[in-house]
């Protein structure tokens, strides 16, 4: 549905997007993850035809964003970083205006507006002047605006930014509900959000893609290490020494003594390969009792930190 | 056409759902009203004075026929053309600047609406507001028709001139608004630019006659002279239409090129 190839965008000397390529299949939700100034917004603006790329090509639904921009525009719904609202308009009038310029014909316009308001749960404020709405409601009107013409592709730039936790959950649920009918790209710098919502995550930093994975794979492949917590019955000093001796273990530590003969340990692996089996074998082989063994994957946050710091080291 | 109308309608509604339209129209009428009063009352005094002079003269001359078109309507039209220069940029300054500032430009410029459609939609919305302003000043003229007997033709020609001249201001107002997200800068640049095209006429007098003749061809106010006198000449109509087209074309260029710069 979306095909981006070697897209680069310069602003004077600043390379906002640097040779970026990725694809999004129909019905997929792609997360666009990166710290500030990574180039997320710029990439989205290129996809929505707001800005042209300096070089490279991008296609949406088979249409080139530059050559066939009108065709692309008909097929996308876009929620920019700041919802594009006319503060003096009423919610309903605003959505009708958007439907009109998005090409929804007058026979279907009312229905389209009703549906968009229904999906985003703003029907109760449909006669309110936008200026008087709360931030969360404004964001929802922004989302309704992106949906009103039922586009194939939705491009959402940080859709949950500035919302309170309850609203964040609601908006995320809403986006989840939209998946399937729409192909979605959403940008965020909140990692749990990407891992909750997206089937695939593209991580971008300083204009370059540094990783592209499913959230699980990302953690596993790029996490670099795995962490286990275990509760063992046995002389704790001995147990610790043995754990440290296992091949593939980078670090082992006692975290708490549960009672005289039982303690909790944490073990970190050197690589991404699983060490659970080796650890279990080592403990049981000594005749100690293994009460608990839980692998703990590193959070995406850790991964991300890892990725960006690695990039910085390279430079 | 649908897109043009959508943009046009939204702009017009937006004018009237905020105080700008009312304030600009109101103040414009106050200023025009004051000058209408001053010009007409001095014309009336002058008429009375002329009548008295004629009556007292030894040679029993008939009182001179004073032309209300030349002596009241013409200066009035000239004054309106100046006031419009200061009021119209206040109407046009928000047209693009505001969209850039609030971020709605990202909606407008990623919707399947062509640049020509939204430029013309906004231009027409400004034009409509101006028509309303001119319509109200026409009420003053009606007073003159009730209490005097001006010639009708020249008044309409004069208003056609005012309309065309105002559309020139609006078209460049749209252009300057498309250049910046700061409304004040947009308005001030528009006024400065238009003043320059007036001053070109005055400048013409002080340079060598050949160059001066060419320069005065570009003077906005020079072309208004005939309209104010009530003389309709296609040469002036063509000049104003070209000027308007130029402003709209430059808006198009500015919007197209802004995206390469980064908007
Ligand atoms: N219109 C512009 N003119 C000049 N430079 C720009 C422009 N837009 C973006 N940039 C630069 O391009 C780089 C990428 O910006 P971009 O807005 O795409 O980042 P982002 O990933 O969306 O960041 P954030 O998370 O803060 O929204 C930044 O260095 C920014 O300063
Ligand atoms: Mg951004």
Highest mean pLDDT among A3-17, A289-303, B220-234: A3-17
Domain count across chain B: 1
Question: Which residues lie below 8 Å from residue A95, measured CB to CB, with a gap of 6+?
Answer: A113, A116, A117, A141, A144, A145, A148
Label residue A311 by pLDDT band (50, 70, 90). very low
Helices (H), B148-233: 152-179, 183-206, 209-217, 222-229
Q: Is A138 on the interface with B (CB under 8 A)?
A: no
Residue in A15, A35, A39 to alter for ligand 1 test, most ligand atoms within 8 A of Cβ: A39
Q: Which residue has the tokens 């097929």?
A: A75
Tell me the CA–centroid distance for residue A39 and ligand 1, in Å.
Answer: 6
Residue B194 within any structural domain of the chain: yes
Question: Does the beta-carbon distance from A98 to B111 stay under 8 Å?
Answer: yes
The closest residue, in CA terms, to atom 29 on ligand 1 is: A37
Does B50 contact A at CB distance below 8 Å?
Answer: no
Quote the strand ranges of A25-100, DSSP E. 29-33, 55-60, 63-64, 76-79
User: Tens of pLDDT along A204-214?
Assistant: 888 888 888 88
Residue B251 belongs to some domain of the structure: yes
Pairing of strands A200-205, A208-213: antiparallel
* Residue B161 maps to a domain: yes
Give the end-to-end CA distance of chain A in Å, rounded to a whole number: 34
What would the DSSP string read from start to end of B46-115?
A: HHHHHHHHHHH-TT-PPPP---HIIIIIHHHHHHHHHHHHHHHHHHHTHHHHHHHHHSTHHHHTTSS--H
- Residue range of the domain that includes B87: 2-35+67-261
Decide if B27 touches A, using CB distance below 8 A: no
Q: What average pLDDT does range A238-256 have in this prediction?
A: 86
Name the token pair of B220.
């906005």
Residue with tokens 């959508």: B6
Question: Residue B109: is its pLDDT beyond 90?
Answer: yes
Residue B123 falls inside a structural domain? yes
**Average pLDDT over chain A, rounded to an integer:** 86
B43 part of a folded domain: no
Mean pLDDT of A97-123: 94
Neighbours of B60 (CB within 10 A): 7
Is B34 a residue whose pLDDT tops 80? yes
Residue A310 C-alpha to ligand 1 middle, in angstroms? 22
Helical spans, DSSP H, in A233-275: 236-245
Q: Rounded distance, CA B215 to CA B201, Å?
A: 7
CA-CA-CA-CA torsion sign (A49, A55, A61, A62): positive
Residue B58, domain member (yes or no): no
| Mean of pLDDT values over A224-233 | 80
C-alpha A42 to ligand 1 mean position (Å):
6
Q: What distance in Å separates the CA atoms of residue A90 and residue A128, rounded to the nearest whole number?
A: 5
Tell which wins on pLDDT, A314 or B51: B51
pLDDT score of B58 more than 70: no
Range with lowest mean pLDDT among A8-17, A221-230, A297-306, B223-232: A297-306
- Residue A155, pLDDT score: 96
d(CA A132, CA A138): 9
In a domain, B60, yes or no: no
Average pLDDT estimate for A147-176: 88
Cα dihedral across residues B163, B169, B172, B174: positive or negative: negative
What 8-state DSSP symbol labels residue B17? T
pLDDT at A298: 53
Above 0.95 for ipTM, yes or no? no
3-state secondary structure of A156: strand
Contact of A47 with A30, CB cutoff 8 Å: no
User: Rounded to the nearest 10 degrees, how much is the dihedral formed by the CA atoms of B43, B44, B50, B55?
Assistant: 170
B21 domain residue, yes or no = yes
Instruction: Confirm if B112 and A74 have CB atoms less than 8 A apart.
Output: yes
More confident residue, A292 or A45: A45
Q: Assess A85–B contact: CB distance below 8 Å, yes or no.
A: yes
- The predicted structure's pLDDT at residue A310: 43
């Amino acid at each position: 549905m979306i095909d981006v190839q070697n897209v680069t965008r310069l602003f004077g000397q600043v390379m906002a997007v640097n040779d970026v390529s990725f694809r999004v299949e129909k019905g997929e939700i792609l997360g666009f993850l990166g710290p500030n100034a990574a180039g997320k917004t710029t990439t989205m603006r290129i996809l929505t035809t707001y800005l042209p790329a300096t070089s490279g090509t991008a296609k949406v639904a088979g249409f080139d964003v530059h050559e066939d921009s009108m065709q692309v525009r008909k097929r996308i719904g876009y929620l920019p970083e700041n919802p594009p609202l006319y503060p003096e308009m009423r919610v309903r009038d605003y959505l009708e205006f958007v439907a009109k310029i998005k090409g929804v014909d007058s026979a279907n316009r009312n229905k389209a507006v009703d549906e968009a308001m229904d999906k985003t749960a703003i029907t109760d404020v449909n006669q309110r002047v936008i200026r008087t709405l709360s931030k969360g409601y404004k964001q929802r009107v922004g989302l309704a605006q992106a949906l009103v013409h039922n586009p194939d592709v939705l491009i959402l730039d940080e859709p949950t930014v500035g919302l309170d936790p309850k609203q964040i959950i609601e908006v995320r649920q809403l986006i989840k509900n939209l998946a399937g009918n729409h192909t979605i790209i959403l940008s965020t710098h909140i990692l749990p959000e990407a891992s909750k919502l997206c089937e695939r995550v593209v991580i971008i930093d300083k204009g370059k893609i540094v990783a592209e994975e499913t959230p699980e794979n990302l953690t596993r492949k790029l996490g670099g290490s795995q962490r286990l917590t275990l509760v063992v019955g046995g002389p704790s000093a001995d147990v610790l020494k043995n754990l440290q001796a296992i091949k593939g273990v980078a670090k082992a530590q006692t975290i708490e003594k549960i009672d005289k003969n039982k303690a909790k340990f944490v073990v970190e692996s050197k690589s991404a390969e699983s060490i659970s089996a080796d650890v279990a074998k080592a403990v049981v082989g000594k005749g100690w009792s293994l009460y608990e063994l839980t692998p703990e994957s590193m959070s995406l946050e850790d991964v991300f930190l890892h990725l960006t710091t690695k990039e910085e080291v390279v430079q | 056409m649908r897109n043009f109308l959508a943009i046009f309608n939204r702009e017009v509604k937006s004018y009237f759902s905020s105080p700008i339209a009312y304030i600009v129209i109101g103040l414009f009428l106050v200023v025009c009203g004051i000058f209408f009063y001053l010009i007409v009352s001095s014309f009336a005094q002058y008429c009375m004075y002329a009548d008295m002079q004629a009556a007292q003269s030894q040679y029993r001359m008939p009182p001179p026929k004073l032309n209300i078109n030349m002596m009241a309507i013409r200066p009035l039209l000239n004054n309106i053309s100046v006031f419009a220069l200061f009021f119209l940029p206040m109407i046009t300054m928000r047209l693009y600047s505001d969209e850039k500032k609030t971020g709605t430009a990202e909606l407008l410029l990623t919707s399947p609406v062509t640049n020509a459609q939204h430029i013309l939609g906004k231009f027409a919305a400004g034009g409509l507001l101006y028509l309303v302003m001119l319509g109200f000043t026409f009420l003053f003229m009606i007073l003159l028709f009730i209490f005097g007997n001006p010639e009708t033709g020249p008044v309409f020609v004069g208003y056609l001139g005012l309309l065309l001249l105002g559309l020139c201001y609006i078209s460049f107002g749209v252009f300057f608004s498309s250049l910046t997200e700061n409304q004040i800068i947009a308005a001030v640049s528009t006024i400065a630019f238009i003043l320059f095209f007036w001053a070109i006429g005055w400048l013409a007098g002080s340079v060598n006659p050949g160059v001066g003749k060419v320069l005065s061809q570009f003077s906005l106010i020079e072309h208004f002279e005939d309209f104010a006198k009530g003389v309709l000449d296609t040469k002036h109509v063509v000049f104003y239409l070209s000027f308007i087209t130029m402003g709209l074309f430059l808006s198009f260029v500015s919007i197209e090129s802004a995206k390469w710069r980064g908007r």
